[in-house]
A and B are shown apart, each in its own frame.
Chain A
Amino acid sequence: MTAEEWQIVWFTAWVSALSTLVIVPFGLGVAWLLARHDWFGKSVVETAITLPLVMPPVATGLILLKMFGRRGAIGGFLHDSLGLDIVFTWRGVLISLGVMSFPLLVRSARVAFEQVNQRFEQIARTLGAGNWRVFLTITLPLAFRGIMAGVMLAFARALGEFGATIMVAGNIPGRTSTLSLSIFQSVQLGQDAHAYRLLGISVALAFIAVWGSECLLRRAKP
């Protein structure tokens, strides 16, 4: 294992972790809204959120590329006013991973929230607890197992993301090269030994992520 390979592993791990962390507040918020409320256009929102799960990842990546490129709606604003670039940088990787793993988090969290007995929440209200207190002390703890499963799923998805990432961030060695991108490139270059080493690490990382989530879920059993 060379220093370069460790750099790739480290980069993949921390950018996946960060992207998962970033989408948690949004994911939980959306999941809670979908679970608890009905409103006009709700089905459209539901469908839009599920799209990255069903669309080909490169198609999602293309949309992100257009939105976050220097000439795009969001990317143009960021570039012109803040000098910030998204495409071809680690921020592009972050956004790709976040978008692709978002639906998984929302779906799991939504189911978890729906399974929380709302009577407990109502009882807490009658005892004087405000909305946030109810959410943090009643809803969240009761939905914890499902939410953790969603978080772990999102993290695992982010670890393995390829299609959207290569569109938005390219495969720049040392800057945007993730594990899956590196495996692809190694095979292209005929560096099979390198590819197999990275493959082994992917398996190990995935194993740890899934096993860890199983442990967490077992411990959180009510």
Chain B
Amino acid sequence: MQNQTHRKAERNQLDGLRPPACDLPRLLAGVGFAISLLSGVSPSHAADLTVFAAASLTESLRTIAAQYQRETGDKPAFNFGASSFLARQIEAGAPADIFFSADEDKMDALDRKGLILKETRTSRLSNSLVIVIASDSLLVIHSPKDLAGSEVKRVALADPKTVPAGIYSRVYLEKHKLWPLVEPKVVPTDNVRAALAAVESGNVEAGMVYKTDAAISKKIKVAYEIEDNPDISYSMAVLKDSREPAAARKFLDYLNSEAAGKVFEHYGFIVKGKPGGGSPASGHSGGSAR
């Protein structure tokens, strides 16, 4: 026992005399630094960005973020959901750097509360609506009027009171005097992707979602493409309480760039200010009834 204590005391005495190369913590730090230099990430600061974005942007933003991370090392993380719900979270103080809404109203509301950096606000994207049915459905929809027919018992919409996709759908149906007939059949969902899922599950006969949403789902088919869409406009801005405003502005600029525009078009979004629009990523809107 005494021998062991002696040896321990010896070791303690020798600690301060160990050569620097054998100092483990310093060694690890040095190796870490070297690795980070090799990987091209600046050891000073790779920003973590939080982007609150409309559910319909899920795939396109994830693709863009992956490209952005490869190029700059900044890591955008996303909270996808209904723009109305996200705006509420931001109002309640949720820590977000960028808000990407599916309509201008939600951004206006945040603007009125002084929660955005006005000069960063841009509106680049638009979209269009489609009526979708399950891919194995035998329903025939020649026009939106068929939604009022007796064969359609339930129609899934993102909540027509608050969620942009639902509001656009309601505005369209109101314009065509169909809303009073369709409203009793509406199953309101939390966001546009939930409406899509409801149609996929077969628990509703039809739904109205964005063309871009229909493109990513293989379990539904487009029954009718809407031509005279209401004014659909996506809005993005950096938030005033962002903890990474410089990195956020940089990412927003990237979202406004050519490269990002190509990705959006690939997924079927309409990039404003450019001729025509994009074609859907997967050609599953083929065979839409007209």
Enumerate chain A interface residues (CB-CB to B < 8 A). Answer: 65, 69-71, 85, 87-88, 170-173, 187-190
Q: Sample 22 A-B pairs with CB under 8 A, ordered by A number.
A: A69-B201, A69-B202, A69-B203, A70-B201, A70-B202, A71-B202, A85-B203, A87-B203, A88-B187, A88-B203, A88-B204, A170-B187, A170-B188, A170-B189, A171-B188, A172-B186, A172-B187, A173-B188, A187-B88, A188-B162, A189-B162, A190-B88
Contacts of B201 in A (CB 8 A): 65, 69-71, 87
Enumerate chain B interface residues (CB-CB to A < 8 A). Answer: 84-85, 88, 91, 153-154, 161-162, 186-189, 201-204
Contacts of A87 in B (CB 8 A): 201, 203
Contacts of B91 in A (CB 8 A): 190
Q: List the 9 closest A-B pairs by CB distance, nearest first.
A: A87-B203, A70-B202, A71-B202, A69-B203, A88-B187, A70-B203, A188-B85, A69-B201, A170-B187
* B186, B203, B204, most chain A CB atoms within 10 A: B203
Question: How far is the CB of A73 from the nearest CB of chain B, in Å?
Answer: 13
Q: Determine the main DSSP class of A at the interface with B.
A: loop
Docked pose: A190 CA to B85 CA in angstroms? 9
B161, B186, B189: the one contacting A189 at CB < 8 Å is B161
Contacts of B204 in A (CB 8 A): 88
B84, B202, B203: the one contacting A188 at CB < 8 Å is B84
Given contacts A172-B188, A189-B162, 13 further A-B contacts (CB under 8 A): A69-B203, A70-B201, A87-B201, A87-B203, A88-B187, A88-B203, A88-B204, A170-B189, A172-B186, A188-B84, A188-B162, A189-B161, A190-B88
Docked pose: A65 CA to B153 CA in angstroms? 19
Docked pose: A171 CA to B158 CA in angstroms? 12
Q: Total A-B pairs in contact (CB under 8 Å)?
A: 36
Docked pose: A188 CA to B81 CA in angstroms? 12
Query: What is the chain A residue whose CB lies nearest that of B205?
Result: A70
Given A69-B202, A69-B203, the answer on whether A189 and B188 have CB atoms closer than 8 Å is no
Question: How far is the CB of B71 from the nearest CB of chain A, in Å?
Answer: 36
Docked pose: A85 CA to B204 CA in angstroms? 10
Docked pose: A70 CA to B203 CA in angstroms? 6
Docked pose: A105 CA to B186 CA in angstroms? 35
Contacts of A85 in B (CB 8 A): 153, 203
Contacts of A189 in B (CB 8 A): 84, 88, 161-162
Query: What is the chain B residue whose CB lies nearest that of A187?
Result: B88
Question: How far is the CB of A115 from the nearest CB of chain B, in Å?
Answer: 44
Docked pose: A87 CA to B187 CA in angstroms? 11
Question: How far is the CB of A203 from the nearest CB of chain B, in Å?
Answer: 23
Query: What is the chain B residue whose CB lies nearest that of A174?
Result: B184
Query: What is the chain B residue whose CB lies nearest that of A166?
Result: B190
Contacts of B154 in A (CB 8 A): 88
Docked pose: A71 CA to B154 CA in angstroms? 15
Given A69-B201, A70-B202, A88-B154, the answer on whether A188 and B188 have CB atoms closer than 8 Å is no
Question: How far is the CB of B235 from the nearest CB of chain A, in Å?
Answer: 19
Question: How far is the CB of B272 from the nearest CB of chain A, in Å?
Answer: 29
Question: How far is the CB of B141 from the nearest CB of chain A, in Å?
Answer: 18
Question: How far is the CB of B51 from the nearest CB of chain A, in Å?
Answer: 20
Docked pose: A65 CA to B88 CA in angstroms? 29
Docked pose: A71 CA to B201 CA in angstroms? 7
Contacts of B85 in A (CB 8 A): 188
Contacts of B186 in A (CB 8 A): 172
Question: How far is the CB of B190 from the nearest CB of chain A, in Å?
Answer: 8
Contacts of A69 in B (CB 8 A): 201-203
Question: How far is the CB of B127 from the nearest CB of chain A, in Å?
Answer: 23
Contacts of A190 in B (CB 8 A): 88, 91
Contacts of A88 in B (CB 8 A): 154, 187, 203-204
Question: How far is the CB of B153 from the nearest CB of chain A, in Å?
Answer: 8
Query: What is the chain B residue whose CB lies nearest that of A171?
Result: B188
Docked pose: A70 CA to B205 CA in angstroms? 10
Docked pose: A33 CA to B115 CA in angstroms? 61
Question: How far is the CB of A172 from the nearest CB of chain B, in Å?
Answer: 6
Question: How far is the CB of A61 from the nearest CB of chain B, in Å?
Answer: 13
Contacts of A172 in B (CB 8 A): 186-188
Question: How far is the CB of B209 from the nearest CB of chain A, in Å?
Answer: 16
Docked pose: A71 CA to B186 CA in angstroms? 20
Question: How far is the CB of B7 from the nearest CB of chain A, in Å?
Answer: 53
Contacts of B153 in A (CB 8 A): 85
Question: How far is the CB of B88 from the nearest CB of chain A, in Å?
Answer: 6
Question: How far is the CB of A196 from the nearest CB of chain B, in Å?
Answer: 15
Docked pose: A115 CA to B202 CA in angstroms? 48
